[in-house]
Amino acid sequence: GQNIDQPTEMTATEGAIVQINCTYQTSGFNGLFWYQQHAGEAPTFLSYNVLDGLEEKGRFSSFLSRSKGYSYLLLKELQMKDSASYLCAVGDSNYQLIWGAGTKLIIKP
Amino acid sequence: IAGITQAPTSQILAAGRRMTLRCTQDMRHNAMYWYRQDLGLGLRLIHYSNTAGTTGKGEVPDGYSVSRANTDDFPLTLASAVPSQTSVYFCASSDGQGVPDTQYFGPGTRLTVL
């Protein structure tokens, strides 16, 4: 079967660093996406990894290890506006996205 | 206006009624998708369309139908609504060519079936 696992909820402090993990088992692999979703809003694209390694984009970085079926999203210098759910999604062999349930990140002052 | 629009924003519907959720994009994207999002579950694909004139079934298609008469519009119809269809529905689109095929989402429709 196909499965994406992420922690349900995480809490971090403003200004700190947080790492959100995602493990996956899918039929085929055509890239891994991270999306951000604020409460009551639509998901918005954050990052894409298809090769092993780290992709950095400002305060956000995403890492992929295909051999381990593992990714993480790293958020630095946390701001209150980063409070949101973070969704991990993997492209399967049909290029359809399989989604994790999301990790709700709570930022405390 | 650039992006994806959905209508209505929210709706309360009696069980057994027919309902069409509308989705329009102006990015000339080839592919469009309908998802439902329920608490504690990931986004689940209902139906998709890789190009105008074609549609396909996703993970949870039962009770829903779609059509893709043109590039811009991708309506989702619930023929006879049931309470288990209470959910937030998101329409998305992507270029459908090359990798990555990033999906862009509409604002969602919150549907309650009583």
Residue range B21-55, pLDDT digits in tens: 999 999 999 999 999 999 888 899 999 999 999 99
Contact check, Cβ <8 Å, B42/A31: no
Facing residue for A50 by CB, picked from B40, B58, B100: B100
In angstroms, the CA B50 to CA B94 distance is: 9
Closest partner residue to B42 (CB to CB) among A44, A95, A100 is: A100
Minimum CA–CA partner of B90 in chain A:
A42
Strand residues in A6-94 grouped as ranges (E): 9-13, 18-25, 32-37, 44-49, 53-57, 60-65, 70-75, 84-91
Cβ–Cβ under 8 Å, residues B18 and B79 = yes
Contact B101 A87 (CB under 8 A): no
Neighbours of B78 (CB within 10 A): 19
Q: Do B16 and B81 meet the contact criterion of CB atoms below 8 Å apart?
A: yes
pLDDT at residue A14 above 60? yes
Judging by beta carbons within 10 Å of its beta carbon (0-12, 13-18, 19+), is residue A98 exposed, middle or buried?
buried
Ramachandran sector of residue B48 (left: φ over 0; alpha: ψ -120 to 50; beta: rest): beta
- What was the pLDDT predicted at A48? 95
Nearest residue of A to residue B37, measured between CA atoms: A101
Tokens matching residue A57: 């984009």
pLDDT band at A33 (very low <50, low <70, confident <90, very high): very high
Contacts of A103 in chain B (CB under 8 A): none
> Is the per-residue pLDDT at A4 higher than 80?
yes
Does the CB of B90 have a partner CB in chain A at under 8 Å? yes
Identify any residues that bridge with B49 across adjacent strands, giving them in sequence order.
B32
- Chain B residue closest in CA terms to A49: B100
Cβ contact (<8 Å) for A50 and B45?
Answer: no
CB-based contact B100 A100, cutoff 8 Å: no
Does B22 lie at the interface with A, CB-CB under 8 angstroms?
Answer: no
- CB neighbour list of residue A85: distance below 8 Å, 6 or more residues apart: A36, A37, A38, A39, A102, A103, A104, A105
For residues A23 and B55, what is the distance between their CA atoms, to the nearest angstrom? 30
pLDDT at residue number B1: 55
pLDDT digits (tens, 9 = 90+) for A43-102: 999 999 999 999 999 999 999 999 999 999 999 999 999 999 999 999 988 878 999 999
